A and B are shown apart, each in its own frame.
Chain A
Amino acid sequence: MSADEIKHAGLNLQHADPMTHEKAGAGIFGFWVFLMSDAVLFALLFATYGVMLRGTAGGPVPHEVYEMKSAFIETLILLASSFTFGLASLAMKYEHKQHQLQAWLGVTLLLGLLFIGWEFHDFASMAAKGEVPSRSGYLSAFFALVSTHLLHVTAGCIWAVVMIAKIRTFGLDARVKINVLRLGLFWHFLDIIWVGIFSVVYLQGLA
């Protein structure tokens, strides 16, 4: 039976909604192509950071710049948001009451906003100490990498708002469902990038 088949990477709807599952394959494959090209972008930003790490131009060095506590809290926030998005996807797949899907999406959105706020707070306190992108090659590379991730999270939050509005207006039709699946992939993907950031940037700098 074709509903048994796994049609794309990520959470598959399968028997829960065979009609949408049938349509999801191509659209989600396309989104994976985007995600993987985005991964290449981030990989090059990581490589740039690795190369620029020693280019401090007599300015602040990594272990003076980073604070372990806020890096840890940001990591926990993003990880929790990944889990709550998983709960949202499952609420959608198994057609629990609709407010449950909206509630989990809302929680994910709030965690995303908290993450953005925390990171802005970090950037502001760095700027107050004169640690700005123009200070040295190292700081330019740091801000390029971390702000690109921040920009992606912001885009994810806007997208989540749009999805909540769409669910309220159109209900759960096939298009809305496939879009929620895509947003889920995007959100989990951003968490994976963050694992790279906290390992390569924060913990390497503080070790």
Chain B
Amino acid sequence: MDQQHAYRRQLRTYAIGFVSALVLTCAAFATVRFHLAPPQTAIGIVFALGLVQIVVHFRFFLHIDLERSARDDLQLILFSTLITLLMVGGTLVILANLHHRMM
């Protein structure tokens, strides 16, 4: 009976994740498809929705949250996120700057 309860609870987690991911995806596509905003703003909205969707996937599909996760794993993920941001951000800033100077 207890297992049955736990099963229902986790099934609901996946279902909530699926539905919210679906809504976020449709919102992002609709913003671009129906030109709901000028291009630059639309890109901003899409990126923001994408970030939220990534968090939703982590939370509901990969079951990671800040309070209840195993500590080592959380540190690994946060550290990788930091490295990723540094590398992507650094690459974009440096090469955009270079591009600017070459013009």
Contact between A50 and B92, CB atoms less than 8 A apart? yes
Question: At the interface, yes or no: A29 with Cβ under 8 Å from chain B?
Answer: yes
Contact between A40 and B10, CB atoms less than 8 A apart? no
Contact between A6 and B68, CB atoms less than 8 A apart? yes
Report the bound CA distance from A153 to B74 in whole Å.
25
Question: At the interface, yes or no: A57 with Cβ under 8 Å from chain B?
Answer: no
Report the bound CA distance from A43 to B92 in whole Å.
11
**Residue ID in chain A nearest B99 by CB atoms:** A54
Give the shortest distance, in Å, between A22 (CB) and chain B (any CB): 14
Give the shortest distance, in Å, between B32 (CB) and chain A (any CB): 5
Contact between B72 and A203, CB atoms less than 8 A apart? no
Contact between A40 and B47, CB atoms less than 8 A apart? no
Given A83-B14, A195-B57: A44 and B91 interface contact (C-beta under 8 Å): yes
Question: At the interface, yes or no: A191 with Cβ under 8 Å from chain B?
Answer: yes
Q: Which residues of A contact B25 (CB under 8 A)?
A: 75-76, 79, 195, 198
Q: Which residues of B contact A191 (CB under 8 A)?
A: 57, 61
Q: Which of A29, A33, A90, A203 contacts B10 (CB 8 A)?
A: A90
Chain A contact-residue range equals 35 or more
Question: At the interface, yes or no: B1 with Cβ under 8 Å from chain A?
Answer: no
Q: Which of B31, B32, B54, B62 contacts A10 (CB 8 A)?
A: B62
Q: Which of A9, A29, A83 contacts B62 (CB 8 A)?
A: A9
Q: Which of A7, A11, A37, A203 contacts B28 (CB 8 A)?
A: A203
Give the shortest distance, in Å, between B48 (CB) and chain A (any CB): 9
Report the bound CA distance from A203 to B15 in whole Å.
26
Contact between B70 and A8, CB atoms less than 8 A apart? yes
Instruction: Show 22 residue pairs from A and B whose CB-CB distance is below 8 angstroms, ordered by the A residue.
Output: A6-B68, A7-B70, A11-B10, A11-B63, A12-B63, A29-B72, A40-B84, A43-B88, A50-B88, A51-B91, A68-B29, A71-B29, A79-B22, A90-B10, A90-B14, A93-B7, A188-B57, A199-B46, A199-B49, A199-B50, A203-B32, A207-B32
Given contacts A6-B70, A33-B76, A79-B22, 18 further A-B contacts (CB under 8 A): A6-B69, A10-B62, A36-B76, A37-B80, A43-B88, A44-B87, A47-B88, A68-B32, A82-B61, A87-B11, A90-B7, A93-B10, A195-B53, A196-B54, A199-B47, A199-B50, A203-B42, A207-B43
A contacts, CB < 8 Å to B: 6-12, 15-16, 25, 29, 32-33, 36-37, 39-40, 43-44, 46-48, 50-51, 54, 68, 71-72, 75-76, 79, 82-83, 86-87, 90, 93-94, 185, 188-189, 191-192, 195-196, 198-200, 203-204, 206-207
B contacts, CB < 8 Å to A: 2-3, 6-7, 10-11, 14-15, 17-18, 21-22, 25, 28-29, 31-33, 39, 42-43, 46-47, 49-50, 53-54, 57-58, 61-64, 68-70, 72-74, 76-77, 80, 83-84, 87-88, 91-92, 95-96, 99
